[in-house]
Amino acid sequence: MDAPVPAAAAQHLPVLAAEAKRLQSPVPAYILAGQIDHETACPRKKTCWRTDAEFKTSREMGVGLGMLTQVVGRFDALAEMRAAHRAELLGLTWENIRSQAVYQIRAVVLKNADNYRALSNLFSDWLRPVLTAYNRGVGGIRADRRACQVTPGCDPFKWAGNVEQACAGGNAVIPGTRLTACQISRRYAPDVMARAMKYRKALP
């Protein structure tokens, strides 16, 4: 039996369904809901489906339903998304992001669509690498494919059992997690997809 849909999700699911349809999302809306469920740490934390959800360390900050991330001196996911989708995300800034539910949801839909366009032609089983790229980045997935290409018996056009096992992310433990970047990224898509199951009836 699927877990119950969090009460906090109710106000956002119609917006997610509408944005996924309008933007012709290649990733099904219920999978995107599972992603938001993961990013906002449902149901363990009070941040579940909250637009002001926040993850913060001394060098990194993630905010909102999709945990748009800024790492000091390295990258700014919000700035990148605004540059790529100026018309769709023009009103979204770090100053107002915590109150902008529609923009946050739109950014999740657009980011996954960007990842799909970048990776779907590289994998016969594209959904898991596309989801993993939300966590690891498209560049990281491409690096994993290169690692697969030099690994005997590894098929760089297949994710399951192949590229997923050829992570080039290193073995250093991420502070505060007890996990490596590879371990975190490889747990991401299965967790999102498991969480998504409870949203199938509410979303197409």
Query: If you average pLDDT over residues 66-82, what whole number do you get?
Result: 92
Instruction: Give me the residue spans of the domains in the chain.
Output: 7-199
35, 192 in Cβ contact below 8 A?
yes
Confidence of residue 177 (pLDDT cuts 50, 70, 90): confident
User: In the predicted model, what is the mean pLDDT of the chain?
Assistant: 94
Q: Which pLDDT score is estimated for 169?
A: 77
Question: Which run of H or of E encompasses 49?
Answer: none
Q: Which pLDDT score is estimated for 130?
A: 98
Q: Which pLDDT score is estimated for 191?
A: 97
C-alpha span between 115 and 20 (Å, rounded): 15
- Report the largest interatomic distance among the alpha carbons of the chain, rounded to a whole angstrom: 50
- pLDDT per position as a tens digit, 121-151: 999 999 999 999 999 999 999 999 999 999 9
Predicted structure pTM score? 0.94
7-199 folds as Lysozyme (1.10.530)
In three-state secondary structure terms, 69 is strand
Q: Which pLDDT score is estimated for 204?
A: 63
pLDDT of 22 above 90: yes
Confidence of residue 73 (pLDDT cuts 50, 70, 90): confident
pLDDT of 69 above 90: yes
Of the two residues 59 and 31, the one the predictor is more confident about is 31
